[in-house]
Every structure is written in structure tokens, then in C-alpha cells.
């Protein structure tokens, strides 16, 4: 199976699971569910949950064991996009090809739907019947630090504070390894924890994650200036509009492309040392760098 078909297959399974959540019908909090589902089912790439599943499968663990936690990760990702798009943050009007949540629902509902998705992600993991208590605790500890001050939220604060300032490459890398890299790495580690693999491999997988996480961001920066809003599904040239330093603004498109290639080679080198049973992690790394949106 090609990596495109593999990712399409996983997206379908993930979407079906996400669609099955909170379908309580007419309840007083129904608009919370409608708002959360509007963003959750807007058709993202599902890269993070796919990485969790692909990692688990690469070590012989069945998709069914990791699906629920993988979807919890997608909920954390979606909440971060909802809050990031708010008027007081990046003030974005489009996301995943649709108007952002606060353009369709009241802004209060966007704040609360984000809060809910984050909260419910931890509930999904804590109540996952496929996991042992020890696995649940490891996963919640991992996800709450990767999504928190030493990860995603920390990166978002740095990103906002860097707007309009001259930022060097090292600072840019710190921002992105926190803002984007931490949750991509955590997705891979999630698959490894659920598959129950040895600690020594987890360390290597983390390095793999850091490389493709950064490559993902470099490509994002390139696509922001080379693609149209239609292709991206979100406002293009938004980094220029928000006066943000990017790999492209600091290195130019060609050098940025080279940087992404170098990161890809490092990432694939790490995988070669691991006893993987499938090649999809390798193929997803290729996809991250070759993607067009």
C-alpha cells in the first residue's frame, strides 16, 4: 500500500471515531458539541494521530489499541488551532478550507469548545479500556507536558512575543520545537508507549520525531509563501501579515528546502537502526517534506 493510501485509510478510521463522539442529541450543552465537532471534523491531515498509529503498528501493535489515544491527540491539536485562530491571537478567518470557528459560532463558544476538546482529550485517555493504568498515567504525563509550558503552549507564547521582532535561527528553532515539534514527537512516543516497546528505542523515536517535527515546520513556512489560500485551506502569506520570522524569511526558499531535506535524511537514518516491522514511518517522513498543503 502506498503511503497516500495508508494515510487515507487512517484518516477514515480516525474521522469515524471522532464522528462517533458526543452524539447525545438534544441536550442543554448541544452547541458545545456542535462547535467542537465543526472544528474537529473539518478534515485536517490527521498527521499526529496517524503517526501514533503508524509507530504502534511498526512495532506490531494493533491499530485498535492506539486509536482512542490517537484521537485524543487530534483533539488537543484541534483545540490549539481554535485558540490560535482567535482574534486576540493570530486572528485567522480560514482553517482547513472553512471559516474559523469564531467566524461561525460566537467567540465565547470558540474559547469554550477549545477548552472542552483539551479537557476531553485527557478524559478519553483516562477511560480507554485498551490501556493499563500505568500506560494511561505515562500517556497523560507525556501529553500534558508536550501540550503545556515546556511544549506547545510555551512555544505559542514565544511565537506571539517574537512577532515583529528580529529573531535568529536558534530562537526560531526553539519556538518551533516547542510549538509544533513537541506534539509531533509526543504522537510518535504515544504509539511507542502503547506498543510497549523498550525505553532505548523510545529515545531514538523521540529524535526521529524532533527531526520530522522541525521539517514539518520548515515546509509549512515554505508553503505559506508558495501556495494559495485554496491549496492551503487557510490564509496564505499569514506569516508576512503577522510579521513573523520564518525559515523562509531567514534563509530564503532554496536554503529552507535544503534544511528540510537534511532533517529528512537525519530522521530516516534514525529509523534504519530500529527493528521496524513496516516502512510507513519512513514513508510518512517523506510525505511530511513532499506535501503540497
∠ CA 197-151-51, rounded to 5°: 40
E strand or H helix at 28: none
- Applying CB under 8 A, what is the total number of residues that bind its own copies? 51
Q: Which stretch binds its own copies (CB under 8 A): 23-31, 63-71, 212-220, 239-247?
A: 23-31
∠ CA 226-229-231, rounded to 5°: 75
Q: Which stretch binds its own copies (CB under 8 A): 26-34, 190-198, 204-212, 285-293?
A: 26-34
CA 278 to each of CA 5, 126, 157: distance values in angstroms, whole numbers, following the listed order: 15, 29, 38
E strand or H helix at 53: helix 47-58
Which one of residues 42, 104, 157, 271 is an interface residue with its own copies (CB under 8 A)?
Answer: 157
Q: Is residue 51 packed enough to be buried (19+ CB in 10 Å), middle (13-18) or exposed (0-12)?
A: buried
116 in contact with its own copies (CB under 8 A): yes
112 in contact with its own copies (CB under 8 A): yes
Least distance in angstroms from the C-beta of 1 to its own copies? 36
202 in contact with its own copies (CB under 8 A): no
Which one of residues 149, 198, 254, 262 is an interface residue with its own copies (CB under 8 A)?
Answer: 149
103 in contact with its own copies (CB under 8 A): no
Residue 157's contacts (CB-CB under 8 Å, 6 or more residues apart) are none
For residue 98, the cross-strand partners are 95
Which one of residues 8, 64, 127, 261 is an interface residue with its own copies (CB under 8 A)?
Answer: 127
Looking at the Cβ atoms of 58 and 75, the one nearer to its own copies is 75
Q: In 26-41, which positions are buried (b, 16+ CB within 10 angstroms) versus exposed (e)? A: eeeeeebbebbbbbbe
Which one of residues 48, 68, 95, 109 is an interface residue with its own copies (CB under 8 A)?
Answer: 109
* HSE-up of residue 80 (Cα within 13 Å, Cβ side): 22
Q: Is residue 114 packed enough to be buried (19+ CB in 10 Å), middle (13-18) or exposed (0-12)?
A: buried
- Site map for its own copies, 174-193, x if CB under 8 A? xx--x---------------
- Site map for its own copies, 43-82, x if CB under 8 A? ------------------------------------x---
Binding site for its own copies (CB under 8 A): 22, 28-29, 31-33, 79, 83, 86, 88-89, 106-112, 114-116, 118-120, 122-123, 126-127, 133-134, 136-137, 140-141, 144-145, 147-150, 153-154, 156-158, 160-161, 171, 174-175, 178
Amino acid at each position: 500500500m502506498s503511503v497516500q493510501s495508508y494515510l487515507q485509510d487512517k484518516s477514515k478510521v480516525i474521522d469515524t471515531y471522532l464522528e462517533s463522539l458526543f452524539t447525545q442529541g438534544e441536550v442543554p450543552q448541544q452547541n458545545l458539541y456542535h462547535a467542537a465537532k465543526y472544528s474537529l471534523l473539518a478534515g485536517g491531515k490527521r498527521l499526529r494521530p496517524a503517526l501514533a498509529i503508524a509507530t504502534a503498528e511498526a512495532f506490531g501493535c494493533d491499530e485498535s489499541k492506539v486509536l482512542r489515544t490517537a484521537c485524543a491527540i487530534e483533539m488537543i491539536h484541534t483545540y490549539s488551532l481554535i485558540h490560535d485562530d482567535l482574534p486576540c491571537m493570530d486572528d485567522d478567518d480560514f482553517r482547513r478550507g472553512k471559516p474559523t470557528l469564531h467566524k461561525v459560532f460566537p467567540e465565547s463558544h470558540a474559547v469554550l469548545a477549545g477548552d472542552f476538546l483539551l479537557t476531553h482529550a485527557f478524559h478519553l485517555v483516562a477511560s480507554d479500556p485498551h490501556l493499563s493504568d500505568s500506560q494511561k498515567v505515562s500517556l497523560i504525563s507525556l501529553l500534558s507536558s508536550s501540550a503545556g509550558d515546556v511544549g506547545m503552549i510555551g512555544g505559542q507564547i514565544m511565537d506571539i512575543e517574537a512577532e515583529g521582532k528580529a529573531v535568529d535561527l536558534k530562537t526560531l528553532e526553539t519556538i518551533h520545537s516547542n510549538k509544533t515539534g513537541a506534539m509531533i514527537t509526543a504522537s510518535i512516543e504515544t504509539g511507542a508507549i502503547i506498543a510497549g516497546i523498550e525505553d532505548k528505542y523510545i529515545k531514538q523515536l523521540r529524535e526521529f520525531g524532533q527531526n520530522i517535527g522541525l521539517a514539518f515546520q520548515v515546509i509549512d513556512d515554505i508553503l505559506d509563501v508558495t501556495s494559495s489560500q485554496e491549496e492551503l485551506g487557510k490564509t496564505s502569506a499569514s506569516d508576512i501579515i503577522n510579521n513573523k520570522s520564518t525559515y523562509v524569511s531567514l534563509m530564503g526558499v532554496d536554503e529552507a528546502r535544503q534544511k528540510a531535506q537534511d532533517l529528512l535524511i537525519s530522521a530516516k537514518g534514525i529509523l534504519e537502526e530500529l527493528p521496524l516491522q513496516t516502512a510507513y514511518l519512513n514513508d510518512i517522513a517523506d510525505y511530511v517534506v513532499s506535501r503540497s498543503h
